[in-house]
Structure 1
Amino acid sequence: MVNYVNVHAYHLSFKDQAFRNILNRSDIVFCDGFGVKLGAKMLGLRLGERMTPPDWIDELFAMCENEKVSIYFLGDEDYVVKRFTEMVGEKFPNLRIAGYNNGFFSKSSDENNRVINDINASGAEILITGMGMPLQEKWAFEHREQLRPKVVIGAGALFRWYAKIEKRGPRIVTDNGFEWLWRLFVQPKKVWKRYIIELPYFFMVVLKYKFTGK
């Protein structure tokens, strides 16, 4: 299980013990946010580079294409995941795309079993989920014993960004810690709570821990 943490993830984990446990039990958790890097630095901790899926996913696809590793895509709306799959297939024509499915299926009915069976029957070795946090992490963790892919990667809004349905900021913005400002500017209704409420709260928690150890 490969998951990521950004300030939003930490904010959710403060309130959701189950989600926090899933992150702590994941095999790999990578940093997906400059806020997390800054928070770690304030506590005297050293993290590796920020790794957001849109920046490295093509490297994974190229490696899988070369090594004949098959991938299944699960998440977002039908037209989004379909367009994403088409674009990946055009860019990596020899990549083994085992299948895809939207993320808006019932998680507590026979439809859930159908999706799991489809993933397993596809022979996919890697499953990439884009159902949003914390749904994608909780779903993958709950069904980890049933799913046959060897690796499950949570990727958030990757499908939407890759398919250019939502536009990311220019690299000079995203590579220098200001992607949050760009998203607040272009998607204020969607992300305002993350950056107006969650970001200051995160740093309050970091400072409290720094000076009190709690």
Structure 2
Amino acid sequence: MSQIPVVQILGIKISVIDQPLLLAEIGQYAAHGKIALVNNVNVHACNLAYEQPVFHSILNASEIVFCDGFGVKLGAWMMGKKLGQRMTPPDWIDELFLLCAEKGYSVFFVGDTKEVVERFAGQVQQRHPELKIAGWHHGFFECHGSESDGVVDMVSDSGADIIITGMGMPRQELWAWEAKSKVNKGVFIATGALFRWYTGIEQRAQKWVTDCGLEWLARLVTHPRTLFQRYVVGIPLFFFRIVFGRRNG
């Protein structure tokens, strides 16, 4: 595993990394049977971390935190810092599955509803018949206590090398943080709404929109009520915090 350089944005250590190195690092952790947290940050994540010390600490204790938002890259530029490639899991997850199939790494999926995660697992297996899927479980369980312990035991007993979570932020990160001390191995990768995007239950914006950094606007148009606070309030708040932070050292 490489010593990946980091830059700090609002006190969050973000890895300066591109897609080939990200996949290589995940593969190295899996190959050596290591336990690792691979998380990502966008503007929403930075705001949550700013307001929630526990989430902030988890991100800074993660082995890799990659950039998944053009807003974060812009914020870094405003601070005179340069981040690595902006990456979002739907764009590279199939490449990870190809790597896992080639190297024999097994994967476990945790997240969303029972129907969605089963559909996701089925489609992944159809696209990647050589991939070892160790199991899957829905994400609607208490993240603390016996119910969570049961899911962790299932993951651990499966012998999965990579655990892909899709429970939303910061729930997926909090669960992985607690689970990592109870498994023998496993790379936990937070992927948010990946399961729904992969299966087509929710449609992503066209590629030119995502490449221009306007995916947030497309999502806001689709889900105005649920995402109003995150984007209409959250984006200006993030940049206010960036500017305020610069003026105060």
Q: Report what 2:202 is aligned to.
A: 166
State the distance in 2 between where 1:90 and 1:185 align.
32
Matched, 1:90 2:140: no
Contact 1:127 1:153 in 2 (8 A): yes
C-alpha distance in 2, partners of 1:184/1:154? 22
Aligned match of 1:121 in 157, 166, 174? 157
Counterpart CA distance in 2 for 1:112 and 1:49 is 34
Range that drifts further, 180-189 or 110-119? 110-119
Normalising by structure 2, we get a TM-score of: 0.84
The CA deviation string for residues 62-111 of structure 1, in whole angstroms up to 9 with x for no partner, is 00011110000000111111111111000000100000000001233422
Partner of 1:111: 147
Q: Give the alignment partner of residue 216 of structure 2, picking from 163, 180, 189.
A: 180
Which residue in the other structure is 2:229 paired with? 193
Deviates more, 1:160-169 or 1:110-119: 110-119
Partner of residue 239, structure 2: 203
User: In structure 2, what is the Cα distance between the partners aligned to 1:125 and 1:82?
Assistant: 19
Number of matched pairs? 213
Say if 1:125 and 1:148, in contact at 8 Å, map to a contact too.
no
Indicate yes or no: 2:117 matched with 1:70.
no
Superposition TM-score, scaled by structure 1 size: 0.97
Question: For each residue in 1:90-136, what CA deviation from the matched residue of structure 2 results, as whole angstroms up to 9, or x when unmatched?
Answer: 00001000000000012334222221111111110100111111111
RMSD: 0.9
1:142-198 CA distance string (max 9 Å, x none): 221102333111111111111111110000000110001100111112211111101
Say if 2:114 is the partner of 1:99: no
Cα distance in 1 for partners of 2:247, 2:146 equals 50
Please give the alpha-carbon distance, in whole angstroms, between the structure 2 residues aligned to 1:70 and 1:170.
31
* 1:200 Cα deviation after fit: 0.2
Off by >4 Å, runs of 4+ in structure 1: none
2:55 pairs with 1:23: no
SS at match of 1:107: coil
Identify the residue that residue 36 of structure 1 maps to in structure 2: 72
Unaligned runs of 5+ in 1: none
